[in-house]
Amino acid sequence: MKRFNFTRLLCCLAVAAAMLSAHAAGDANPKSGSPYDIIPIPAQIVASQGTYTLPAEGVKVFVQGAASSSLADYLKASALQASAEKSRSKANIAIVIGKKGKKPAPAEGYTLTITPKSIAISAATEAGAFYAVQTLLQMTQQGTLRTIDCCTITDEPRFPYRGLHFDVSRHFFSKEFLLKQIDAMAMLKLNRMHLHLTDAAGWRLQIDRYPRLTSLAAWRPAETWQQWCDGGNQYCEQTDPRAHGGFYTKDDIREILAYAEARHITVIPEIEMPGHSEEALAAYPEVSCDGSGKGSDFCPGKEATFQFLENVLTEVIDLFPSHYIHIGGDEAGKSKWKTCPDCQRRMKEEGLKDVDELQSYLIERIERFVNSKGRDIIGWDEILEGGLAPNATVMSWRGTSGGIKAIKAGHDVVMTPGEFYYLDHTQDAPFKEPVSIGGYGSLEITYNYDPADPSLSQDELKHLLGVQGNLWTEYVPTPEHAEYMYYPRAFAVAETGWSRAEDKDYSHFRPRAVALCAQMQKMGYNTFNLANEYGNRRESLAPVDHLAKGCKVTYNNPFSKQWPSQGATTLTDGILGGWTYQDHKWQGLLNDLDVVIDLGKLQDVHYVGASFMHLPGPGVFVPRMMEVELSADGKQYQSIGTVWNDIDDKIPNLLFKTFSLTCNRQARYIRVHAQNGKAFIFVDEIIVN
């Protein structure tokens, strides 16, 4: 039986009433702050009569229970500008922290009660009280509204892990940038900051034992990642006049950690291994397979590699209090391991059958070391390859299957699938957006993802820790650009991580997101202009009817098993693709498209056309040419012409090109042959008229 959602009904009625009131008054600005306007939406809201007005200045807060001085400092520095009050009766806001009753209260939960006379917050922990304050701040629109609606909010998070990822390797972002984003995360009740500190493009953390990691591997003679790649992936000394980059000193990290702790955010460091390690190998070539410092993978055959990694991790663990230490594990090429004498000797000694098991050996050995320090490892889902380390937690990015597999094997998982939670994908029509790595991840796509896969049982769902949005910065060179990519999609990640699944409703979420974007812009954040969103590719919004719709397609070159779309029906199903091949409407083929369409009978044919995608980042190119041949019997074919590509492969933008030919012939069979010869071709439909 479907549960009637009374909270959602109240929410919708309140929003409708507010809209009618604003329309009647001719004023879009609310007179009082509403609990129905905040993000993430609370678990339970009970509206009551009246409003409460905070004083314009001199807000007094009474705190009872176990609270650190950081909460008082935060309240004083916040938009409330609240000072401590010893008498509860004289306070505007009374906060009581501590467990009540026999039933254990949720650690991050709270109750916020607003009456015409006062505001009361009760929570089991300081974290819960802090999140109640965030709700209050959003209701006041960060202090700009002093009058708020009376209500009782009972709230707690759906998941314990609610994260954002920061890639500071591809482009280095300052300490001040991270502090600013911590404030935004706190507002959204996000509680995990994942710092991607190391990668080929730069090492970003001071390690005392290995100074070359920051005197060389943190610097490059190119300002942007793209310029660095075009210039041959070179590093340079910090003293070089051409040097661009940077790193965090240990004092920088301590300041970031203290700032985050006061806002109940855990900072998780990532030290990438075994792949994506070109910068470390360049600084310390003795941990590469051939000793040259070339390549991307640490050499697991050498004891020197494990000594290096353990020494680095020791300093990382001494600095970061996070229970999790992220060890990466993704996209290791492992090609040199197949011929490296040290790796081959290690495989023989350990009885390892392939390089995947050798990677697993490295991960398990690193896990034992990290466990010996009282911590656990977390890594990308490639750490499943060759067998998962016993206590490892998986971050599932290559879709959801890796995470589901790990959960069913009894491992904890954070879901961060690229299709939904990669915030480096363009969030609107590519022709109006900055150049991105590709893909299309609108706010709606991000919001509508639910990590609780139906195949998981209730017991298995206990291993689903939560969600995380990832921003990789290959094409994001500035802090302003990064904020533009995070917000408002981080709002969607936050609501999925905090709010109950049954309370999620995009039609209600979007206007809240538009309003919060406006608030954040006033606070100095550079958000995407959601109010002027263009949306998905127009061609994909409605089916197209044509002569070949529903007709049989024979493949002379098979489609990719990785990108099958809807299989053999894809090219004649009448459905055109959107801005990304991840929408399951585009079909991928390696090198060539070579198909024959059977119209079922002899018919007049005047037009044959197909649209292709150009996206160099992941290696997607339009074909260099497309030829169309017609046949009456399926044996004798006659060409009606060839169309040639005119898009330069070096153009980084997402583009679409329609190859088409016109004729005046009769045919039953149509052969379409598009040649590429070097990469993926993505096509959505072959239209015949």
pLDDT in tens, 440-469: 999 999 999 999 999 999 999 999 999 999
Question: What does the alpha-carbon distance between residue 98 and residue 420 come to, in Å, rounded to a whole number?
Answer: 38
311 burial type by CB count under 10 A (0-12 exposed, 13-18 middle, 19+ buried) = middle
Domain stops at, among 131, 155, 179: 155
Same domain flag for 469 and 596 = no
> Is position 363 within any domain?
no
pLDDT at 101: 60
pLDDT digits (tens, 9 = 90+) for 290-316: 999 999 999 999 999 999 999 999 999
Same domain flag for 528 and 588 = no
pLDDT digits (tens, 9 = 90+) for 67-81: 888 898 999 999 999
pLDDT at 543: 95
Same domain flag for 147 and 173 = no
Of 522 and 30, the one with more pLDDT = 522
pLDDT at 7: 42
Question: What does the alpha-carbon distance between residue 451 and residue 414 come to, in Å, rounded to a whole number?
Answer: 9
For the residues 601-627, what does the mean pLDDT come to?
94
Alpha carbon 464 to its chain centroid, in Å, reads 17
pLDDT at 75: 92
Instruction: Name the pLDDT band for 618 (thresholds 50, 70, 90).
Output: confident
How far, CA to CA in Å, does 395 sit from each of 204, 247, 289? 22, 25, 28
Instruction: Name the pLDDT band for 601 (thresholds 50, 70, 90).
Output: very high
Spatial contact of 189 and 164, defined as CB atoms under 8 Å apart: no
Spatial contact of 118 and 111, defined as CB atoms under 8 Å apart: no
* Helix/strand/coil for 311: helix
For the cut 60, the answer to whether the pLDDT of residue 688 exceeds it is: yes
Pairing label, strands 119-123, 161-167: unpaired
> Is position 435 within any domain?
yes
pLDDT at 391: 81
Question: What does the alpha-carbon distance between residue 453 and residue 451 come to, in Å, rounded to a whole number?
Answer: 6
> Is position 431 within any domain?
yes
pLDDT at 390: 75
pLDDT digits (tens, 9 = 90+) for 383-422: 877 676 778 899 999 989 999 999 999 999 999 999 999 9
For the residues 517-534, what does the mean pLDDT come to?
97
For the residues 661-666, what does the mean pLDDT come to?
96
Same domain flag for 65 and 210 = no
Nearest to 118 by CA among 74, 61, 72: 61
pLDDT digits (tens, 9 = 90+) for 667-684: 999 999 999 877 899 999
Question: What does the alpha-carbon distance between residue 266 and residue 159 come to, in Å, rounded to a whole number?
Answer: 15
Question: What does the alpha-carbon distance between residue 533 and residue 320 come to, in Å, rounded to a whole number?
Answer: 40
For the residues 227-254, what does the mean pLDDT come to?
97
For the cut 60, the answer to whether the pLDDT of residue 15 exceeds it is: no
Alpha-helix runs per DSSP H in 499-555: 506-522
- What residue type is assigned to position 544 of the chain? V
Question: What does the alpha-carbon distance between residue 74 and residue 252 come to, in Å, rounded to a whole number?
Answer: 20
Same domain flag for 436 and 488 = yes
Question: What does the alpha-carbon distance between residue 326 and residue 548 come to, in Å, rounded to a whole number?
Answer: 51
Same domain flag for 298 and 167 = yes
Q: State the greatest distance between any 2 C-alpha atoms of the chain, in Å, as a whole number.
A: 95
- What residue type is assigned to position 687 of the chain? I
How far, CA to CA in Å, does 310 sit from each of 167, 257, 330, 389? 23, 22, 19, 17
Question: What does the alpha-carbon distance between residue 41 and residue 503 come to, in Å, rounded to a whole number?
Answer: 8
CATH of the domain at 670: 2.60.120.260
> Is position 170 within any domain?
yes
What are the tokens at 88? 């509860």
> Is position 366 within any domain?
no
> Is position 253 within any domain?
yes
> Is position 542 within any domain?
yes
Nearest to 71 by CA among 134, 115, 120, 114: 134
Same domain flag for 650 and 664 = yes
pLDDT at 102: 59
> Which residue spans within 556-654 are E strands per DSSP?
587-614, 625-631, 638-644
Domain stops at, among 532, 567, 593: 532
For the cut 70, the answer to whether the pLDDT of residue 104 exceeds it is: no
Same domain flag for 304 and 264 = yes
For the cut 70, the answer to whether the pLDDT of residue 371 exceeds it is: yes
Task: Find all residues with CB under 8 Å of 307, minimum gap 6, and list them.
Answer: none
pLDDT digits (tens, 9 = 90+) for 198-223: 999 999 999 999 999 999 999 999 99
Domain that holds residue 628: 538-688
pLDDT at 20: 37
For the residues 31-51, what does the mean pLDDT come to?
96
- Going by the DSSP 8-state scheme, the letter that residue 86 receives in this structure is S
pLDDT at 675: 92
CA angle 87, 90, 96 (to 5 degrees): 55
Question: What does the alpha-carbon distance between residue 191 and residue 416 come to, in Å, rounded to a whole number?
Answer: 15
* Helix/strand/coil for 591: strand
Catalytic machinery residues: 199, 276, 331
The whole-model pTM stands at 0.91
Question: What does the alpha-carbon distance between residue 567 and residue 5 come to, in Å, rounded to a whole number?
Answer: 39
pLDDT at 98: 92
522 burial type by CB count under 10 A (0-12 exposed, 13-18 middle, 19+ buried) = exposed
C-beta atoms surrounding 25 within 10 Å: 10
For the cut 50, the answer to whether the pLDDT of residue 341 exceeds it is: yes
Per-chain mean pLDDT for the chain = 93
What are the tokens at 603? 């018919």
What are the tokens at 243? 């040097």
Instruction: Name the pLDDT band for 11 (thresholds 50, 70, 90).
Output: very low
Same domain flag for 114 and 22 = yes
Sequential DSSP letters for 163-199: EEEEE-SSS---HHHHHHHHHHHHHTT--EEEEE-EE
For the cut 80, the answer to whether the pLDDT of residue 18 exceeds it is: no
Nearest to 444 by CA among 481, 488, 486, 485: 488
Question: What does the alpha-carbon distance between residue 5 and residue 12 come to, in Å, rounded to a whole number?
Answer: 11
Total domain count, the chain: 3
What are the tokens at 368? 């034992």
CATH of the domain at 124: 3.30.379.10
CATH of the domain at 280: 3.20.20.80
Same domain flag for 175 and 88 = no
Least trusted range by pLDDT, from 27-41, 51-65, 477-491? 27-41
For the residues 144-150, what does the mean pLDDT come to?
96
What are the tokens at 190? 């996000």
Same domain flag for 109 and 177 = no
Same domain flag for 517 and 567 = no
pLDDT at 103: 66
For the cut 60, the answer to whether the pLDDT of residue 283 exceeds it is: yes
- Going by the DSSP 8-state scheme, the letter that residue 139 receives in this structure is H
Percent of the chain residues topping a pLDDT of 70? 94
For the cut 50, the answer to whether the pLDDT of residue 282 exceeds it is: yes
Question: What does the alpha-carbon distance between residue 182 and residue 201 come to, in Å, rounded to a whole number?
Answer: 24
> Is position 352 within any domain?
no
Domain stops at, among 507, 532, 557: 532
The answer for 610, left when phi > 0, alpha when psi is -120 to 50, beta otherwise, is: beta
